[in-house]
Amino acid sequence: MKCPFCQSSLSKVIDKRSVFGRGEIRRRRECLKCAKRFTTYESLADVMLLVIKKDGRREPFLREKLEAGLTKALEKRPGIDRVPKLLDRIEGRLRAKKLQEIPSQTLGKWVLAELKKVDGVAYLRFASVYRTFSDAKDFKKEMEAL
């Protein structure tokens, strides 16, 4: 672990705590060279999860990509502050299943289910991209089903 201030690899752990619900460990460290303190978050390296796209391609699951989609759906909506919790729930579900591959359709359904609980407008925004709405009739049909 390198100090972000002086780049020294010599540090000592001052405090260690579990991060509730995330499976991470928070460590407060002190650099032995410059005496400045910094925090690190550590987690177990997961087996790489692959997402199977509609065309059959496989891509690594990226939390950042899912976060961007949720943030876009909840943009300027009251539930925007819930994005980290939604991400944790979806990732927790993935870990619980212990899958190595997941179809993008399944992942999309999970996201829609979570958004449906939070905000109807965000649900429709995400559904319009996920289900590739072509016109206003698609929105109307989805709103009726909602």
Q: Do 56 and 85 lie in a common domain?
A: yes
Q: Do 125 and 77 lie in a common domain?
A: yes
Output the pLDDT for position 7. Answer: 94
Report the number of distinct structural domains present in the chain: 2
Output the pLDDT for position 132. Answer: 65
Residue 2 lies inside a defined structural domain of this protein? no
For residue 3, what are the contacts with CB-CB under 8 A and spacing of at least 6? 9, 10, 11, 31, 33, 34, 36, 38
Q: Do 65 and 117 lie in a common domain?
A: yes
Q: Of the candidates 73, 59, 8, which has an alpha carbon nearest to the alpha carbon of residue 38?
A: 8
Output the pLDDT for position 92. Answer: 85
Q: What is the pTM of this model?
A: 0.60
Q: Do 23 and 58 lie in a common domain?
A: no
- φ/ψ of 18, rounded to 5, equals -80, 145
Q: Do 38 and 58 lie in a common domain?
A: no
Residue 57 lies inside a defined structural domain of this protein? yes
Distance CA 69, CA 83 (A): 10
Q: Do 66 and 84 lie in a common domain?
A: yes
Q: pLDDT by residue (tens digit) across 82-126?
A: 888 899 889 888 888 877 899 988 998 898 889 888 887 887 888
Residue 125 lies inside a defined structural domain of this protein? yes
Cα separations in angstroms, 123 against 16, 43, 91? 38, 31, 19
Distance CA 60, CA 74 (A): 24
Q: pLDDT by residue (tens digit) across 10-61?
A: 999 999 998 876 778 999 999 999 999 999 998 766 567 899 998 999 999 8
In the chain, the amino acid numbered 78 is P
Higher pLDDT, 129 or 9: 9
Output the pLDDT for position 45. Answer: 63
